């Protein structure tokens, strides 16, 4: 199993949209999201982004889901979603630590059931990190 589609196919379950922290936008990404939503960057910041130590972080709602997560599991800003969301599940943690890979695989139904960490690494875009 050497291609990323065989290793992982998004099921749009929203599991990766759950939890606080980690989804940060660059200024460029924020501009794309604001334009996509047809709002000003200032409104994007006020309505969706955090304040404090991570001001460019997407806030979560009372249910702990990303504010762009919709009830049907889809992302409101899918065409311009942040790089970290586009890269899922090929993120630094699962690529560097087998335990992080196993946690992600247990939580997310998009992983092939038989997928080993070695196969996951081999299927990563660009090859093994």
Q: Give me the pLDDT at residue 21, please.
A: 65
Residue-number span of the structural domain to which 46 is assigned: 4-123
Contact status, residue 51 vs residue 57, Cβ threshold 8 Å: no
Distance CA 108, CA 37 (A): 28
Residue ranges in the chain modelled with pLDDT below 70: 1-5, 20-22, 51-54, 127-129
Q: Give me the pLDDT at residue 47, please.
A: 94
Whether 129 is in a domain gets the answer no
Whether 55 is in a domain gets the answer yes
Q: Give me the pLDDT at residue 81, please.
A: 93
Q: Give me the pLDDT at residue 24, please.
A: 87
Spatial neighbors of 128 by CB under 8 A, at least 6 apart, are: 121, 122
Q: Give me the pLDDT at residue 30, please.
A: 93
Would the pTM of this model clear 0.95, i.e. be above it?
no
Q: Where are the alpha helices (H) located in 14-113, listed in sequence order?
A: 27-37, 41-48, 83-87, 92-96, 98-107
Number of domains in the chain: 1
Q: Give me the pLDDT at residue 75, please.
A: 92
């Amino acid at each position: 199993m050497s291609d990323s589609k065989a290793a992982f196919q998004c099921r749009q379950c929203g599991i990766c949209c759950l939890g606080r922290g980690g989804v940060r936008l660059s200024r460029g990404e924020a501009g794309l999201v604001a334009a996509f939503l047809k709002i000003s960057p200032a409104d994007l910041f006020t309505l969706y982004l955090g304040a404090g130590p991570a001001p460019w972080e997407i806030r979560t709602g009372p249910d702990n889901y990303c504010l762009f997560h919709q009830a049907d599991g889809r992302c409101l800003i899918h065409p311009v979603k942040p790089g970290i969301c586009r890269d899922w599940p090929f993120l630094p943690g699962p690529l560097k630590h087998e335990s992080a890979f196993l946690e992600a695989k247990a939580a997310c139904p998009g992983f092939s059931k038989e997928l080993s960490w070695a196969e996951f690494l081999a299927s990563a875009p660009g090859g093994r990190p």
